[in-house]
Amino acid sequence: MGSSNSTANTRNTSFDITEYMDITVLARCGKLNCGDIIQFANGNYGIVTRLNGNDGSVVTVINGVVQEVAICSICDKARKNNFYDAVSDAYGNPFIIQKARGNIGMVADNSQMFARLCRNGV
């Protein structure tokens, strides 16, 4: 699935994962982009929907509901973790963000599965 219907994309042959770091450093270091999966040190996952200097927003599952919140409101440390790109091509970033925001208010059980579905479609 994912963007496999696009002949312009090639599958990422390595995992695109950074080390855990302070969320403000991660937001401004240039390694994190809108549409990426962010994994917080507390185990939560989300889709980065906006970056602005040291801050931004993420769509994630909180208390069983998909919500868009400030990136720094989840946890102090996080890492970029596009873990599933090695298995399935990612959609384009605008579509990933649209898909994530389109689920705001919906019930969801698992933030990792939610992020993977938004980014890779599987």
Give the domain ranges of the chain.
16-120
Distance CA 1, CA 13 (A): 16
SS3 call for 96:
helix
State which amino acid sits at residue 107. Answer: V
SS3 call for 78:
strand
pLDDT of residue 79: 95
The model's pTM:
0.86
3-state helix, strand, coil split of the chain in percent (to 5) is 25, 30, 45
Please, is 18 exposed, middle or buried when counting C-beta atoms within 10 Å of its C-beta (0-12, 13-18, 19+)? middle
pLDDT in tens, the chain (122 residues): 454 444 334 444 446 789 999 998 988 888 899 999 999 999 999 999 999 887 899 999 999 999 999 999 999 999 999 989 999 999 999 999 999 999 999 999 999 999 999 999 98
pLDDT of residue 54: 79
Distance CA 83, CA 102 (A): 22
pLDDT of residue 3: 44
pLDDT of residue 32: 92
pLDDT of residue 6: 40
Q: Which CATH number fits domain 16-120: 3.90.1720.10, 3.40.50.720, 3.50.50.60, 3.30.470.20?
A: 3.90.1720.10
